[in-house]
């Protein structure tokens, strides 16, 4: 899967919510398990905090899939 852009509707989104919103996790429990296992990276660093606030410019990677967060224009 190629890199995907995700448009933020507000200032931030939590890591677990992003995984659900992009379909990388099928549920909140699935997102929590992926994050706790160390499978998710934020800006190239393993992230284990499911409530990590992500902002425009951040990149989230799960395996070969990467999501780039973009600020939505008004």
Domains of the chain in sequence order: 4-71 (3.10.290.10)
Residue 74, pLDDT above cutoff 90: no
Say what the pLDDT of residue 2 is. 60
Residues 6-64: tens digit of each pLDDT:
999 999 999 999 999 999 999 999 999 999 999 999 999 999 999 999 999 999 999 99
β-partners of residue 42 are 45, 60
Q: Are 19 and 25 in contact (CB under 8 A)?
A: yes
């Amino acid at each position: 899967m190629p890199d995907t852009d995700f448009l933020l509707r507000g200032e931030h989104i939590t890591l677990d919510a992003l995984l659900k919103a992009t379909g990388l996790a099928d549920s909140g429990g699935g997102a929590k398990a992926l994050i706790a296992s160390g499978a998710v990276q934020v800006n190239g660093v393993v992230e284990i905090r499911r409530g990590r606030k992500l902002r425009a410019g951040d990149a989230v990677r799960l395996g070969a899939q990467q999501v780039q967060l973009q600020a939505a224009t008004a």
